[in-house]
């Protein structure tokens, strides 16, 4: 049975600590730098783990150490650990974009190192602790670290998979596109509805059922078959009306977003059976809009 040490009890670290505890795992200690974890968070972790300020003299008790800090702090956290690490624990970080290479100093100190990124969005640690079940965990690193990370994923009811260390940034870019950029896209759509006269809260409420049904269709049918709307139909006249309306928006960045995603949508539409000639007509129009003098 592993004992776990958590460095950085923020949203992801706190959620992992709670989830491990609820699954029967042993959270030995929790280390923080700037802000001590709240009593509410700690109340969800059994066994009363030690809560310690992270400094040069830290000696984690766990045989598996999880660095769950912000990406920019992982390197310094690893350097601090490497100064007086005891034994040969496994050290994992939870960054999506960084690989296990950022922990190289710990590998040199005799640790097995790796990364374990849960492919979910966590906004708070208590609620997020329930999100790991069924989630995918992207894992890479040394063999012993991969084994420990797979154990954690299994413990939390997740679905682990391994990736080539070199591909970690591309994997994370895809995740940002599907999550962070989706959030930004929805925000732009809300802004457009506000320009049309709706309250922001009403705009979000109107769009959410549409978004949820789209995600359900993608899950059931795949992207090409799930595509609906003007680009799926090859309706150039509707696209022209959209462009004319978007050109009146104060935020000039929305039109390039619409056009770029429109080009991608046309590729999906052709895959789903749209006439290449209909797609080409809209592509020609998009080209003219993008190249016309402003």
Task: Read off the pLDDT of residues 55-108 as tens digits, 9 standing for 90 and up.
Answer: 888 889 999 999 999 999 999 999 999 988 888 999 999 999 999 999 999 999
Q: Which residues pair with 160 in a beta bridge?
A: 137
Average pLDDT over residues 273-277: 97
Instruction: Report domain extents, the chain.
Output: 3-165, 178-291
Is residue 153 pLDDT above 80, yes or no? yes
Segment among 53-67, 256-270, 278-292 with least mean pLDDT: 53-67
Q: How far apart are the first and last CA of the chain?
A: 65
**What is residue 119's DSSP assignment?**
-
Q: Domain 3-165: which topology?
A: Rossmann fold (3.40.50)
Local confidence band at 215 (pLDDT 50, 70, 90 cut-offs):
very high
Looking at residue 291, its pLDDT comes to: 94
Instruction: Tell me the backbone φ, ψ of residue 125, rounded to 5 degrees.
Output: -70, -40
Average pLDDT over residues 125-134: 94
At 150 the three-state DSSP class reads helix
Cα-based distances in Å from 31 to 60, 67, 199, 236: 8, 9, 43, 58
Looking at residue 86, its pLDDT comes to: 82
Average pLDDT over residues 21-36: 95
Segment among 20-24, 53-57, 172-176 with least mean pLDDT: 53-57
Report the C-alpha gap between 10 and 37 in whole angstroms: 8
At 240 the three-state DSSP class reads helix
Going by their DSSP bridges, the two strands 136-141 and 112-118 should be labelled as antiparallel
Report the C-alpha gap between 117 and 199 in whole angstroms: 37
> Kind and range of the H or E element at 16?
helix 11-22
Report the C-alpha gap between 286 and 240 in whole angstroms: 9
Looking at residue 58, its pLDDT comes to: 85
Q: Is 149 exposed, middle or buried (0-12, 13-18, 19+ CB in 10 A)?
A: buried
């Amino acid at each position: 049975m592993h004992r776990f040490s958590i460095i950085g009890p923020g949203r992801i670290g706190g959620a992992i600590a709670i989830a491990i505890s609820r699954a029967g795992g042993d959270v030995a200690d929790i280390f923080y730098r700037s802000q001590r974890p709240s009593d509410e968070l700690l109340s969800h972790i059994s066994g009363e783990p030690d809560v310690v300020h992270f400094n040069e003299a830290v000696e984690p008790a766990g045989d598996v150490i999880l660095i769950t800090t912000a990406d920019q702090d992982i390197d310094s956290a690893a350097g601090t650990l490497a100064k007086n690490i005891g034994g040969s624990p496994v050290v994992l970080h939870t960054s999506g974009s960084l690989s296990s290479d950022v922990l190289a100093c710990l590998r040199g100190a005799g640790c097995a190192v790796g990364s374990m990124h849960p492919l979910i969005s966590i906004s708070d640690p208590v609620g997020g602790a329930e999100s790991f079940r069924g989630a995918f965990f992207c894992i890479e690193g040394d063999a012993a670290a991969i084994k420990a990370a797979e154990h954690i994923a299994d413990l939390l009811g997740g679905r682990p998979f391994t990736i080539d260390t070199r591909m970690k940034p591309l994997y994370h870019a895809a995740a940002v596109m599907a999550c962070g950029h989706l959030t930004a896209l929805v925000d732009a759509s809300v802004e457009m509805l506000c320009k049309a006269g709706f309250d922001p809260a009403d705009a979000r409420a109107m769009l959410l059922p549409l978004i949820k049904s789209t995600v359900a269709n993608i899950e059931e049918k795949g992207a090409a078959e799930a595509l609906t709307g003007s680009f799926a139909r090859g309706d150039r006249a509707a696209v022209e009306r959209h462009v004319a309306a978007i050109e009146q928006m104060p935020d000039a960045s929305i039109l390039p977003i619409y056009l770029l995603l429109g080009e991608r949508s046309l590729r999906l539409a052709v895959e789903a059976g749209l006439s290449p000639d209909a797609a080409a007509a809209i592509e020609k129009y998009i080209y003219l809009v993008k190249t016309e003098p402003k």
